[in-house]
Amino acid sequence: MAALDRKAAAMAAVPNKGRQGSPYSSELISGASLFAGTSLMLSGPLSILQGVTAITHDTVFSSPRYDYRFDLSAWGGIHLVVGVALVVIGVGVLLDKSWARAAGIPVAGISLVTQFMFVPYYPVWSIIVMTLDLLIIWALSRSFHPGTSGGR
């Protein structure tokens, strides 16, 4: 029995080098964080493309009579800035940075509001991106635990 205890103690003292980088490693993200990061990396470029299209005054968007009507270039600039922020935060979430998870919720909320205000210009697309933004907020709120991961 004593030999078995010595063997167990010796095995516990040896670091497990064989599992580094495995799917079971704590260094990799999974679940809601992975979904949120990939969704941010999808929503960001879509907003960037929408912004560039609006800035170039493409014929895709029409200018309806609308209370929140801005110049189409202004809408393009707003979507461009929000899209770049979403991409940066998406990279941070995929790298498991706590600042990115904390910043992702309000930025996805801002994206949701801008898409809502853009509904009269391009309704179906705006509603699809709004749904994606809601899913991002849900996933980030499920995966965000303040005080964990040491501020990585």
Report the pLDDT value the prediction gives residue 106, as an integer from 0 to 100: 95
Closest CA to 140 of 41, 33, 42, 40: 33
pTM of the predicted protein model: 0.72
Across the chain, which has 152 residues, the per-10-residue mean pLDDT values are 59 48 54 90 92 79 67 86 96 92 93 89 88 93 61 48
CB-side exposure of 58: number of CA atoms within 13 Å? 13
Q: Within a domain: residue 68?
A: no
Is 62 contained in some domain? no
Token pair in block for residue 123: 């309704």
Helices (H), the chain: 2-13, 32-55, 72-94, 98-117, 123-143
The reply to whether 139 falls in a domain is yes
Q: Which amino acid is at 15?
A: P
pLDDT at 1: 61
Give which of 141, 71, 82 is closest to 114, Cα–Cα: 82
Number of separate domains in the chain: 1
Q: Encoding tokens for residue 67? A: 């209370």
Q: Which two tokens stand for residue 28?
A: 């990799």
What is the per-residue pLDDT for 87? Answer: 96
| Domain membership of residue 121 as a residue range | 39-44+82-145
Q: Residue 1: inside a domain, yes or no?
A: no
Query: Which pairs from 104-107 meet CB under 8 Å and 24+ separation?
Result: 104/36, 104/40, 104/136, 104/140, 105/137, 105/140, 105/141, 105/144, 107/82
Cα separation, 94 vs 33, in Å, equals 7
Predicted local distance difference test score (pLDDT) of residue 149: 52
